[in-house]
Amino acid sequence: MNKLLITSEQLVNPLNNQTARYRICAVYEGDRMAEVELHRTDNETILNHIYIGRVKNVAENLHAAFVEIAGGKVCYLPLEDLKQPLFTKKTSKKPIAAGDELVVQIAKEAVKTKDPVATTNLSFSGAYVVLTSADRRIGISSKISGQERTRLQTLARKLLAVETENTNTGFGIIFRTNAAQAEEAVIREEYLQLKAAYETLTAHAPFGTVYSCLYKERPFYLKMLMDADKSALAEIVTDEKQVWEELKAVDCGNAAIRFYEDRLLPLAKLYHVAGQIEAALKPRVWLKSGANIVIEPTEALTVIDVNSGKNVAGKEKQSNHYKINLEAAKELAFQLRLRNLSGMIIVDFIDLYDAQLNQELMTYLRSCLSKDSVPARPVDMTKLGLVEITRKKKKKPLAEQLGI
Residue 159's pLDDT is what? 83
Q: Are residues 211 and 233 in the same domain?
A: no
The residue type found at 73 is K
**Using CA atoms, how far apart are residues 46 and 120, in angstroms rounded to an integer?**
15
Q: Are residues 261 and 308 in the same domain?
A: no
Residue 266's pLDDT is what? 94
CB burial of residue 231 (10 Å; 0-12, 13-18, 19+): middle
Ranges assigned E (strand) in 81-193: 87-89, 101-108, 117-119, 123-125, 129-132, 138-140, 172-175
Write out the H or E segment, with its range, that includes residue 159: helix 146-166
Residue 258's pLDDT is what? 95
The residue type found at 98 is A
* CATH number for the domain harbouring residue 125: 3.30.230.10
Residue 293's pLDDT is what? 96
Q: Are residues 153 and 255 in the same domain?
A: no
Q: Are residues 313 and 373 in the same domain?
A: yes
Per the CB < 8 A criterion, the answer to whether 73 and 38 are in contact is no
Residue 313's pLDDT is what? 57
Alpha helices in 249-354 (DSSP H): 267-270, 273-280, 317-339
Ramachandran region, residue 17 (left: φ > 0; alpha: ψ -120 to 50; beta: rest): left
Q: Are residues 79 and 198 in the same domain?
A: yes
CB atoms within 10 A of CB 82: 18
Residue 368's pLDDT is what? 96
Per the CB < 8 A criterion, the answer to whether 200 and 165 are in contact is no
Residue 18's pLDDT is what? 85
Q: Are residues 96 and 111 in the same domain?
A: yes
Residues 6+ apart with CB under 8 A from 214: 50, 51, 52, 103, 201, 204, 205, 208
Phi–psi pair at 341, nearest 5 degrees: -90, 130
Which of 216, 236, 261 marks a domain boundary?
216
Cα-to-chain-centroid distance, residue 224 = 8
Q: Are residues 167 and 76 in the same domain?
A: yes
Per the CB < 8 A criterion, the answer to whether 98 and 55 are in contact is yes
Which of 216, 231, 255 marks a domain boundary?
216
The predicted-structure confidence for 299-353, as pLDDT tens digits, reads as follows 889 999 999 876 665 557 888 999 999 999 999 999 999 999 999 999 999 998 8
Q: How many domains in the chain?
A: 3
Per the CB < 8 A criterion, the answer to whether 141 and 176 are in contact is yes
* CATH number for the domain harbouring residue 257: 3.30.420
CB burial of residue 22 (10 Å; 0-12, 13-18, 19+): buried
Residue 168's pLDDT is what? 44
Range of the domain at 98: 46-216
Start-to-end C-alpha separation, the chain: 32
* CATH number for the domain harbouring residue 347: 3.40.630
Per the CB < 8 A criterion, the answer to whether 273 and 37 are in contact is no
Q: Are residues 212 and 223 in the same domain?
A: no
**Using CA atoms, how far apart are residues 262 and 74, in angstroms rounded to an integer?**
44
Residues in the chain with pLDDT values less than 50: 164-168
**Using CA atoms, how far apart are residues 404 and 15, in angstroms rounded to an integer?**
7
Q: Are residues 183 and 320 in the same domain?
A: no
**Using CA atoms, how far apart are residues 252 and 112, in angstroms rounded to an integer?**
34
Handedness of CA 213, 219, 224, 229 (dihedral sign): negative
**Using CA atoms, how far apart are residues 261 and 267, in angstroms rounded to an integer?**
8
Distances (CA, A) of 270 to 9, 255, 257, 267, 280: 12, 20, 17, 5, 18
**Using CA atoms, how far apart are residues 225 and 240, in angstroms rounded to an integer?**
16
Which of 216, 236, 264 marks a domain boundary?
216
Q: Are residues 212 and 306 in the same domain?
A: no
Residue 311's pLDDT is what? 61
Phi–psi pair at 304, nearest 5 degrees: -125, 125
